[in-house]
Structure 1
Amino acid sequence: MSVTDDIGVLQREAWAAGILPPVEQVRDGLWSIPVPMPRNPLRYVLVYAFAIDDGLALVDVGMDTEESWNALVDGIVETGHHISDVRYAAITHLHPDHFGLAPRLRETTGAVLAMHAAEAAALGHFTPADVAAEAEAWRVDMTELGAPDEVAEAPRFEIVRFPAGESADVVLSGGDRLDLPGWNIEAVWTPGHTPGHLAFLDRDHDLLFSGDHMLPRISPNISSGPGELENPLHRYLLSLHATTALPECEVLPAHEYRFRGVADRARRLMAHHDERLDEIRSAVDAHPESTAWEVTTRITWSRPVDVMSPRLRRLAVRETQAHLIVLADRGEIRSDGGVPARWSLVHTDTKEI
């Protein structure tokens, strides 16, 4: 296990080298544990472990694979504990890399699982018919965005659900304090990436466990779709704005590496989305009556759309749609209401007063 006072330096070096960072002691009684994400460009999720009176508490748990489970177990051993010592896990959100191992963890250790009410509501046991109906709703929604069949029908990640009759042990709201003896940690509701995304603020140690809300290098995916927020990008921008009022502290994100500068990073992310909105507005202006998919193919991405996997193209078009919704809400573009919906600019002289 590595110990360093240089914020995120080992994690940054590992990220640049394309390798897994070490288990690292961040503060007395606090460790970061990298848990692999097989076949995912993000490579790992950072799980955080706190020493408490009778064992350990975690923030997030990792993806539901044997490789991930073994890495979590081995990483906990490096902290001087055993997986059976885990008493509590606070979940930032339900994406598989953050929540996937939660049912196995609870079955193995009896750990209390805590999350926001909006995330807990999505965890009910689903029958095969329910799962099929949900998949069809997503396929239809993709078709309404104008996505080609191979994108509309691409498998999406499935939420790991609880067995029938089980639910979250603790349902959190923004401002709630986690029941972790020796730690003063507050849940901060940061909707946008998901409806119930939570960050966790440790005021005593000047730490923000940001989940996917705020990463040092990239912007998290903000997607529209069934079961998501009606206007997810608007909510995300509001969450970022609220983040600028948090105390200055070290940010412990779920991916990449630790960093400082909460307000600065929030403002940079807001500026990124302002630029993205300008680019999408220009694309709609240049090609009136475009579908969300057509707009997606005409704007810049970290890699060309035609070399993305169908799953990544699905995320891209949903993020484009989230920006289109904001522009429509501002009265700058409008949809023809068709299927698929086609977007055009609302010129100043034709806007309703």
Structure 2
Amino acid sequence: MITVSAPAQFQAWQANVMPPVEEVRPGVWSIPVPFIGNPMRYTLSYLLVGDGEAALVDPGWDSDEGWECLTAGLAVAGVAPERITVIVVTHFHPDHLGMAARLRAASGAPVVLGEHEPLPAQWRGDPAGFVVEDRAQFTAWGVPVEYLDEVSFQTHTWEQMTTIAQPQFRLADGELLPVAGLMVRVLSTPGHTPGHICLVDEANQLILTGDHVLPRITPHVSLEATNQLNPLDDYLRSLERMGVGAQMEVLPAHEYRFLGLTDRVAQLTEHTLERSREVITVLETGVAASVWNVAQELTWSRGFASLRGFTLRLALAETASHLVYLEQQGRAVNIEVSRGAPARP
């Protein structure tokens, strides 16, 4: 059973408003930063105060409004931006990493990512070449030509992604955050991205889960243009690692804090496997010849026809991740998933 542990955050989520800045434990602060133009509405950044040093986890989407909210939240905690000594980011997505460059400029603090998290600039050095390959990927997935422009990256979009902050150093699984007075350990949890990390604060009995575990929403796990060969398998294996925080309060990057991590992990695991079973049912009909065909037959909250633009892209990439996973499990897929050839275990 999942129990809401932050009534003010929960009520704010229900009311579609920003939640308050809160001190979760002495020296541990939750600071919401607006996620402009997105249904998720905000990212929950976390300030971890040590002995004369402090970490800021997931500074959020970069915007003037977001910067005002972040600095105002820091002021409530009595910490000026220049007092931040390390900026820790659970994964590279811009609603987490976006503000890192601005915060680094104000504080001089290094930006830290997990050791296996690739940045878009590392995937492809040539934006134009990447855009061509990305479009070819979705063509191979059976996307009709009239949808290709809206689901594939354009040059300007790719250029925006490759200008996000570069990390100054990386942290490996099991390493402690380099902050005096803290004992917060990195937990590698690939799946949502190849190098996603969670943070375990045993002293305060807290686990910061980024996007890996959220109280209500299932994180997106997709086959994107990275070196992540089987993201769904990575994700399920990472869920198994969450037992370390079974009795801890969960501090996610979106929505609200909660207790009951073991039950939530079980829900997420079952939901993911049920989706794979739904994909199997579609494959067994024998009529699906492409990723697009399979996605059309799956259950989507507002129906497949409602999916457009980036949402449609994510739905197709998620479908592809299930096909790769099932083929690794020994299922006959017979659908082209990766470029040029069917996926291989």
TM-score surpassing 0.5? yes
Change (3 A) 1:202 1:113: same
Change (3 A) 1:126 1:230: closer
SS of the aligned residue for 2:313 comes to: helix
- Equivalence map 1:135-150=2 (5 Å): 135-150=131-146
Say yes or no: does 1:285 pair with 2:281. no
User: In the aligned structure 2, how far is the partner of 1:64 from the partner of 1:95?
Assistant: 11
User: In the aligned structure 2, how far is the partner of 1:61 from the partner of 1:338?
Assistant: 35
The question of whether the paired residues in 1 share the 8 Å contact of 2:221 and 2:318 is answered with: yes
SS of the aligned residue for 2:173 comes to: coil
Q: For 2:128, which of 129, 132, 140 is the aligned residue?
A: 132
User: In the aligned structure 2, how far is the partner of 1:281 from the partner of 1:342?
Assistant: 20
Equivalent AA in structure 2 for residue 64 of structure 1 = D
Equivalent AA in structure 1 for residue 105 of structure 2 = E
Change (3 A) 1:198 1:108: same
SS of the aligned residue for 1:270 comes to: helix
User: In the aligned structure 2, how far is the partner of 1:117 from the partner of 1:321?
Assistant: 26
User: In the aligned structure 2, how far is the partner of 1:116 from the partner of 1:185?
Assistant: 14
Equivalent AA in structure 2 for residue 94 of structure 1 = F
Moved more, 20-29 or 332-341: 332-341
Change (3 A) 1:69 1:227: same
Aligned to 1:73: 71
Change (3 A) 1:338 1:67: closer
The question of whether the paired residues in 2 share the 8 Å contact of 1:92 and 1:199 is answered with: yes
SS of the aligned residue for 2:297 comes to: coil
Q: For 2:148, which of 145, 148, 152 is the aligned residue?
A: 152
The question of whether the paired residues in 1 share the 8 Å contact of 2:33 and 2:45 is answered with: yes
User: In the aligned structure 1, how far is the partner of 2:332 from the partner of 2:261?
Assistant: 32
Q: How far off is 1:336 after superposition? A: 5.0
Say yes or no: does 1:334 pair with 2:333. yes
User: In the aligned structure 1, how far is the partner of 2:276 from the partner of 2:66?
Assistant: 37
Aligned to 1:234: 233
Q: How far off is 1:131 after superposition? A: 1.8
**Aligned residue pairs, count:** 334
Q: How far off is 1:268 after superposition? A: 1.1
Gaps of 5+ in 1: 1-5, 344-353
Change (3 A) 1:15 1:287: farther
User: In the aligned structure 1, how far is the partner of 2:189 from the partner of 2:20?
Assistant: 28
- Equivalence map 1:50-89=2 (5 Å): 50-89=48-87
Identity fraction in percent? 36
Deviations 1:170-203 (A, max 9, x none): 2111101111122110000000001110000001
User: In the aligned structure 1, how far is the partner of 2:115 from the partner of 2:121?
Assistant: 10
Deviations 1:247-281 (A, max 9, x none): 42011000001011222211111111111111111
The question of whether the paired residues in 1 share the 8 Å contact of 2:87 and 2:109 is answered with: yes
Aligned to 1:302: 301
Moved over 4 A (4+): 120-127, 155-163, 336-343
SS of the aligned residue for 1:204 comes to: coil
Gaps of 5+ in 2: none
User: In the aligned structure 2, how far is the partner of 1:66 from the partner of 1:101?
Assistant: 10
Aligned to 1:119: 117
Moved more, 202-211 or 116-125: 116-125
The question of whether the paired residues in 1 share the 8 Å contact of 2:92 and 2:119 is answered with: no
Deviations 1:34-54 (A, max 9, x none): 101111111110000112233
SS of the aligned residue for 1:69 comes to: helix
Deviations 1:71-92 (A, max 9, x none): 2122212222222222211110
SS of the aligned residue for 2:101 comes to: helix
Change (3 A) 1:171 1:332: same
The question of whether the paired residues in 2 share the 8 Å contact of 1:177 and 1:184 is answered with: yes
Q: How far off is 1:116 after superposition? A: 1.3
Aligned to 1:3: none
Change (3 A) 1:162 1:254: same
Q: How far off is 1:301 after superposition? A: 1.4
Change (3 A) 1:160 1:108: farther
Equivalent AA in structure 2 for residue 275 of structure 1 = E
Aligned to 1:349: none
The question of whether the paired residues in 2 share the 8 Å contact of 1:100 and 1:160 is answered with: no
User: TM-score, normalised on structure 1?
Assistant: 0.87
Moved more, 68-77 or 274-283: 68-77
Which one has more relative contact order, counting CA pairs under 8 Å at least 6 apart? 2
Say yes or no: does 1:168 pair with 2:170. no
Say yes or no: does 1:324 pair with 2:323. yes
